[in-house]
Structure 1
Amino acid sequence: MKKEDTAAKTPETTAADSSDEYSNARVPKSARRSALSLLTVSLGYVFVVTSMQAGGSMGVGLTFTDTVTATLLSSVILAVLACAMGVISAKTGMSTGLLSKYSFGKAGTYVPVAIVVVTTIGWFSIDAYLIGQTTNTLFPIVPIIPVAILGGIGMTFTAMRGMKWMTWLSNIAVPLIIIFGIISMVIAVNDAGGIVGMNSIVPAKPIDYSYAVGLGVGSYAVGAVMFTPDIMRFSKSIRSAIIVMIITLMLGNTFMLLSGAIGSVVTGTPDVAIMLSMQGLLAPAFLVLVLNIWSTAQGCVYSGSMTLNSVVPKAKRTWLVIGFGVIGIIFAIIGFYNYFGSYIDFLSATVPPLGGIFFADFLVTYKQDYPDPDKAELPTVNIAGFIAWILGFIVTRIPFGMPVVNGIIVAFVVKAVLGAIMGSGVKTRA
């Protein structure tokens, strides 16, 4: 029987894995889902107001033409990363946390896991705050923090219910955000006097083009690299995974960035709630925005808890989800949202090189055939993974060409070479 089917597991063990969303096991073929189901969940991740915020920051700092090209380029970079991760996870059936163990070792994996934990909690806190801020913008009498707390509790609950509830909520949120996003863009273009008018608008505070691309990549870098395996390990085929990720990033992500960018070019503000309010859309779009934020925030908690569960397998995923929710709510209360720009820049430097490392391992180190998690004796620390990651990160800090792309390529090449020379260090138990 194929490795993906986890033949060595008993029905009882498989049932336990299923109830815990296969946190520490391959997803068997019997549990794989349709491409449409996975696309809905994936779009629920990428259809997020924070991507509109990033697009807004790009729009107020670039000309309209440069905004469009920077948006498309960032989506292409993300699509390549996501497709690579989709291929790996569909083939192996393994989550981000398990893949990290093979690339960084049993103890070494705590470092990338920590990055995932911090970033997912950060996203969750920003999303919780946005629910409060959006409510306050429409109803000024309602304070931000209490609503953020209530939103955080609700989003934690649906994440606890797993893929089934996440799919249901995304089915509602995705079509509605498309409708209002289109309406917002049409209003903005009309207010500017058409495409010609959009092109004539000069940004008050111009930003560097490569920095803008970095903002676009950073807006969903964690999703492309870290969230993709948690979704696509349920894919029935590699082909389905690639199709889902191309649609998600090239259509979904581009749409969200442009939704924020086009509106910000005309209104002059990257703040989505204020922008929609200026367009007279906040009231009718209020529920849509909340659902949109909700569908992504629950994904942050789901993927973050999954990844953490891979290094603390004895911990119940339910309690990890609750822990994520509580800490995320605390972050929202103390104002983590105010560091949004710095946070995006941090993600664009630290996360993309991981994608290069995972793909190098898949192609070179393990030659598309990872040992089964139940039988693999992993090294404590995989030095090659850390060398590749550090060099990839350093390269993203060098202002030459497209720093994000350079970091991915360097991390891939270094890990591929070291993997070929040093091997995986993995021993297989009988």
Structure 2
Amino acid sequence: MSKEMTKKSVVKEKDYPLSHVPPEARTSLLAVTGVLIGFTFFTPTMAAGARLGAAFPFSELIWILLAGSAILGFYVAVICSIGAKTGLTSVLLARYTLGSAGAKWADIILGGTQVLWYAITAEYMGVLFSKGLGLPGWEVFFIIFWSVIMGATALYGFRSMAIVSYVALPLMVALVVIVTWMAFKEVGSLENLFGMKPTTTMSVTVAITVIVGTFASGGTQAANWARFAKDGKTAFIAGLLAFLVGNGIMVFSGMVGGFAFQTGDLIELMITMGLTFWALIILTLNIWTTNNATAYAFGVAGAEMFNKSNKAPFIIWGVVIATIVAVAGVGAYFIPLLNLFGTFIPPLGGVIIGDYFFTYKKNLPMLDDVKFRKLRFAPLIAYLVGCAAAYFGGAFEIGVPSLQGIIIAALAVPAVNAIFAAMKINDSHEVKKDAKYV
């Protein structure tokens, strides 16, 4: 084999898209946390917070934020710990849960939503630079330009994502502090802030679902990066820090800004606050870190779907599709999309969690030691039950839809397994007798 071929092979396999991450490729808590927080320090999350900030009294907003962030944080932390223990991506975990054909649904729903997220952020970049530089009509140019640039860096995998995150995070923290400080300065005091009246309306169930929806898809795929952690405990801590604390801070900052300045348009808010120059620099780096992870996620999903060890072609095609969707104006559907993500994606993570704990008892056989069924019906039924619980909970404003979707999907796994066992239906994969487990 030539040196060139060897080099290409190493580049192709270094992120292990179709295998377990080996011990020698594991990394520190700092690196994993940096990538995950870089993922959650996401400007459109602030925009979602700004829209919520215009719809509720401030005292009510605090409880909504705590509820949504806690659900998202603990949910993702569990996904992270499973990813680290097994060394597998979320879509490979879905292969165990749903079967080789059933996992394609996970590829579509997780990869597809990440393409939509990439499109939303690419459009956001186009509007940001067009407004910030005073160049109306240049949105499409900036959408295409930044979409290509951000997609290119995603081709270099986990380590390049960590480097970009280290640069962007301190700047994003500074922006969050500045926005929050200026918002408090605008209203004058905490008493004034609590006394302000909302200007729009939104139900509490939708608001919590929107908070969970900001990273329902990305969080369900957090195993993609957490699998590089040294162990499950490290990954759990990293996931909790990123999605409970990091994402919560982003939503809070947007809430306070939106509440104080009475606008749900974050770009308009930045310009109003006189932060145009710094917004262009900081928000660019911020969105860049997230879109690195987003493109990586739909690349991994594509690799699993087509059983190819090279995720690069799927990143490229995903970026092309996302750019077209961005130019078409997907941002107009931002809140409805978040509500959709927060309803139908958490049950998928719930059924993966339930299958891992109740069916496999926290011991998965190695990929090479399993002959996968095309479809496992018990977990599929559990997923559909979880989706129904989340959907009807939202439709009739009963409970917290996203939380219900996760818990009911997870608990439905052993329940449906018991029914299948009573009916003597074998729904398990075939495992070698001398199989190794992780």
User: Aligned residue for 2:34?
Assistant: 40
Q: Quick one: distance in 2 between partners of 1:173 and 1:300?
A: 16
Aligned to 2:187: 192
Q: Retained in 1: the 8 A contact 2:42–2:290?
A: yes
Correspondence for 1:263:
257
Counterpart pick for 1:54 among 48, 56, 81: 48
1:244 and 1:24 map into 2 onto residues whose CA distance is 23
Residue number among 412, 428, 431 corresponding to 1:428 in the alignment: 431
Q: Alignment length, in residue pairs?
A: 417
The correspondence of residues 179-258 of structure 1 with structure 2, limited to 5 A, is 179-226=174-221, 228-258=222-252
- Which residue in 2 is equivalent to 1:173? 168
Shift of 1:421: 5.1
Task: Tell me, in whole angstroms, the C-alpha distance in 2 between the residues paired with 1:31 and 1:79.
Answer: 26
**Which AA in structure 1 matches 2:76?**
A
Distance in 2 of aligned mates of 1:210 and 1:194:
29
- SS of aligned partner of 2:83: helix
| Paired AA for residue 376 in structure 1 | V
Q: CA separation in 1, counterparts of 2:305 and 2:186?
A: 52
CA distance in structure 2 between the aligned counterparts of 1:211 and 1:419, rounded to whole angstroms:
32
Contact 1:379 1:425 in 2 (8 A): yes
Alpha-carbon separation, structure 1, partners of 2:10 and 2:278: 43
Looking at structure 2, the residues matched to 329 and 277 of structure 1 have their Cα atoms a distance apart, in angstroms, of: 25
The Cα of 1:312 is off from its aligned counterpart by 1.2
Superposed CA deviations along residues 72-122 of structure 1, whole A, max 9, x for unmatched, are 111100111111101211111111111011111111111121001210000
Q: Percent identity?
A: 26
Q: Please state how far the C-alpha of 1:20 moved relative to its aligned partner.
A: 4.7
Q: Secondary structure at the match of 1:43?
A: helix
Q: Does 1:324 align with 2:344?
A: no
Cα distance in 1 between the residues matched to 2:164 and 2:388 = 39
Cα 1:186–1:67, aligned 2, differ >3 Å: closer, same or farther? Answer: same
Give the Cα–Cα distance (whole angstroms) in 1 for the partners of residues 309 and 79 of structure 2: 26
* Contiguous gaps of at least 5 residues in structure 1: 1-11
User: Any residues of structure 2 matched to 1:289-328 within 5 Å, and which?
Assistant: 289-314=283-308, 316-328=310-322
In the TM superposition, residue 18 of structure 1 has moved relative to its aligned partner by: 6.7
Look up the match of 1:6: none
Extract structure 1 runs of 4+ deviating beyond 6 A: none
Q: Is the counterpart of residue 156 in structure 1 residue 159 in structure 2?
A: no
1:105-184 equivalence runs, <5 A: 105-141=99-135, 143-184=138-179
Q: How does 1:48-87 map to 2 (within 5 A)?
A: 48-87=42-81
> How far apart, in 2, do the equivalents of 1:284 and 1:85 lie?
35
- Specify which of 391, 409, 418 is matched with residue 416 of structure 2: 418
The C-alpha deviation readout for 1:169-211, integer Å capped at 9, x for no partner, is 1111111011111111111111112111111111122221121
* SS of residue matched to 2:141: helix
How big is the alpha-carbon RMSD for the aligned residues of Structure 1 and Structure 2? Answer: 1.7
2:403 counterpart residue number: 405
Q: 1:180 corresponds to which letter in structure 2?
A: L
Task: Classify the secondary structure of the residue corresponding to 1:108.
Answer: helix
The residue identity in structure 1 corresponding to 2:289 is S
Question: For the Cα contact (< 8 Å) 1:365–1:424, is it kept in 2?
Answer: no
Q: CA deviation at 1:316?
A: 2.8
Corresponding residue of 1:4: none
Shift of 1:233: 0.5
Q: Deviations over 1:231-273 (max 9, x none)?
A: 1110101111111111112220111001111000011111111
d(CA) in 2 for partners of 1:199 and 1:424?
54
Instruction: Give distance in 2, aligned partners of 1:272 and 1:421.
Output: 50
Deviates more, 1:243-252 or 1:288-297: 243-252
Deviation at 1:159? 0.4
Distance in 1 (CA, whole Å) between partners of 2:303 and 2:417 is: 26
Match of 1:359 among 348, 353, 356: 353
Q: Corresponding residue for 1:373?
A: 367
**Alpha carbons 2:381, 2:416 under 8 Å: kept:** no
Distance 1:419 1:123 in 2: 35
Asked whether the equivalents of residues 13 and 309 of structure 2 are also in contact (C-alpha less than 8 Å), the reply is no
Query: Which range is displaced more, 16-25 or 85-94?
Result: 16-25
Q: Structure 2 length normalisation: TM-score?
A: 0.92
Contact 1:365 1:420 in 2 (8 A): no
Deviates more, 1:242-251 or 1:47-56: 242-251
1:397–1:314 Cα change, 3 Å: closer
> Structure 1 residue 369: deviation in Å?
1.2
Distance (Å, rounded) in 1 between the aligned partners of 2:427 and 2:36: 31
CA distance in 2 between counterparts of 1:111 and 1:411 reads: 16
- Which consecutive unaligned segments of at least 5 residues does structure 2 have? 1-5, 421-425, 434-438
Equivalents in 1 of 2:67, 2:154: separation in Å? 31
In 2: Cα distance, 1:306 partner to 1:216 partner: 25
Q: Which whole-Å CA distance do the structure 2 matches of 1:419 and 1:372 have between them?
A: 22
Give the Cα–Cα distance (whole angstroms) in 2 for the partners of residues 119 and 35 of structure 1: 27
Q: Does the aligned pair in 2 maintain the 1:385–1:415 contact within 8 Å?
A: yes
**In 1, Cα distance between the equivalents of 2:115 and 2:373?**
28
Q: Secondary structure, in 3 states, of the residue corresponding to 1:258?
A: helix
- For 1:175 and 1:325, the matched residues in 2 are separated by 27
DSSP 3-state at the match of 1:401: coil
| Whole-angstrom CA distance in 2 between matches of 1:67 and 1:286 | 28
One-letter identity of the residue aligned with 2:193: M
